[in-house]
A and B are shown apart, each in its own frame.
Chain A
Amino acid sequence: MHVPDGFLDAPTSVATGVVAAAGVALALRGARRELDDRAAPMAGLVATFVFAAQMINFPVGAGTSGHLMGGALAAVLVGPWSAVLCLTVVLLVQALLMADGGITALGTNITLIGIVTVAVGWLVFVGLRAVLPKRAAVVAPAAAVGALLSVPVAATVFTLLFSVGGTAPVDLATVLTAMLAWHTVIGVGEAVVTGLVVASVIAVRPDLVHGARPLLQHRELEIRTAVA
């Protein structure tokens, strides 16, 4: 859903630019808590993976395609603040090097793909983790549900921005319906990829998955209590 230049007018682009800058500034502070010597290279790998995965458009029918956005995936793997930075670097490299997503639209794309998908993915994940059994096995399915919902929510936020600052006079109800329909289907792909990748990392190195840590600590504490 990389927004090109021209879809949104200048005031809306400036506003999303301010939102994006504020979000990135907060993320730069917050990410410090998530990143240590071991998590920092992991976050670099996750950002690089998201860049590569976004090159893979998968067909979703009727001549349309979608690709991973990766907000929920990055949030569960490295934490939400680092995830915002992961997606921001991805979007910067894409816009500057690959002409993928506009330049005046960078604030919009960071807001939609870098902040909205991360926030929705992470909050849904944390909500599910709180009510599901305290086992590492719930991490991948919970991440997948967060990923599934993050895509149509981002599509809805785009439509809201378009209703405020769209440059073309088109019927908003039609845009919203079409955006929601297609991005719900794309969200299924997002959920599948997110679930598989998180499950793979959980299988080999659960300790490297940020979203799994409270569950692993829980287990360790139980063992220590039993020993004592």
Chain B
Amino acid sequence: MTAKLSTRAFLGIGLLVVLLVAGVASYYASAHPDGLEYVAERTGFLDSAEDSPTSDSPLADYQTRGVGDERASVAVAGVVGVGVMALVSTGLFWLIRRRGPNASDGA
């Protein structure tokens, strides 16, 4: 059970997996309504849903506006989303992390 993978390698492989999930596997996701949407439709409250104010976003519904090819459209949306997620979340966690006595940067 000794650690064979450096933290850097682990994070790199992890990011690669994430990019493959969002950029490649996402094309094969089921297009069926999710559980809540399905129940809402069956029990009769789906019509109360309103369009999101961001529904004109260039990446709305995980499709990239202006990219005709369906596979590329979802791939671009997924990869851009992953980029934004990685920057925002890692930035946030880095900012609020506990600075140990060994942490050299005082930022």
Interface residues of chain A, those whose CB is within 8 Å of chain B, are 1-7, 28, 31-33, 35-45, 47-49, 51-53, 55-60, 62-67, 82, 85-86, 89-90, 92-103, 136, 155, 158, 162, 166-168, 170-171, 174-175, 178-179, 182-183, 185-186, 204-208
Q: How far is the CA of A104 from the CA of B107 in the complex (A)?
A: 35
Contact (A64, B35) CB under 8 Å given A93-B84, A99-B55: yes
A89: chain B residues within 8 A (beta carbon) = 85, 88-89, 92
Contact (A1, B82) CB under 8 Å given A36-B98, A168-B44: no
* Residues in B1-40 with C-beta less than 8 Å from chain A: 1, 3-5, 7, 10-11, 14-15, 17-19, 21-22, 25-26, 28-36, 38-40
Q: How far is the CA of A62 from the CA of B35 in the complex (A)?
A: 11
Q: How far is the CA of A51 from the CA of B47 in the complex (A)?
A: 27
Q: Which 9 A-B pairs have the closest CB atoms?
A: A44-B90, A168-B45, A6-B50, A47-B89, A52-B22, A65-B30, A99-B60, A182-B35, A65-B32
Q: How far is the CA of A38 from the CA of B103 in the complex (A)?
A: 11
Q: Is B39 in contact with A99, judged by CB distance below 8 angstroms?
A: no
B92: chain A residues within 8 A (beta carbon) = 44, 85, 89
Could you list 20 further interchain pairs (A-B, Cβ under 8 angstroms) beyond the known A98-B77, A206-B3?
A: A37-B97, A37-B103, A40-B93, A41-B11, A45-B18, A47-B93, A52-B22, A55-B22, A59-B30, A59-B32, A66-B34, A67-B29, A97-B54, A97-B80, A98-B54, A98-B57, A167-B45, A178-B42, A183-B35, A205-B3
Q: Is B18 in contact with A48, judged by CB distance below 8 angstroms?
A: yes
Closest to A47 in B: B89
Contact (A98, B81) CB under 8 Å given A4-B49, A85-B93, A208-B10: yes
Q: Is A204 in contact with B17, judged by CB distance below 8 angstroms?
A: no
Q: How far is the CB of A101 from chain B (nearest CB, A)?
A: 8
* Residues in B33-69 with C-beta less than 8 Å from chain A: 33-36, 38-40, 42-45, 47-55, 57, 59-62
Q: Is A182 in contact with B39, judged by CB distance below 8 angstroms?
A: yes
Q: How far is the CB of B28 from chain A (nearest CB, A)?
A: 8
Q: Is A1 in contact with B52, judged by CB distance below 8 angstroms?
A: no
Q: Determine if B100 is an interface residue (Cβ-Cβ < 8 Å).
A: yes
Closest to A63 in B: B32
Q: How far is the CA of A168 from the CA of B47 in the complex (A)?
A: 8
Q: Is A179 in contact with B50, judged by CB distance below 8 angstroms?
A: no
**B44, B50, B85, most chain A CB atoms within 10 A:** B85
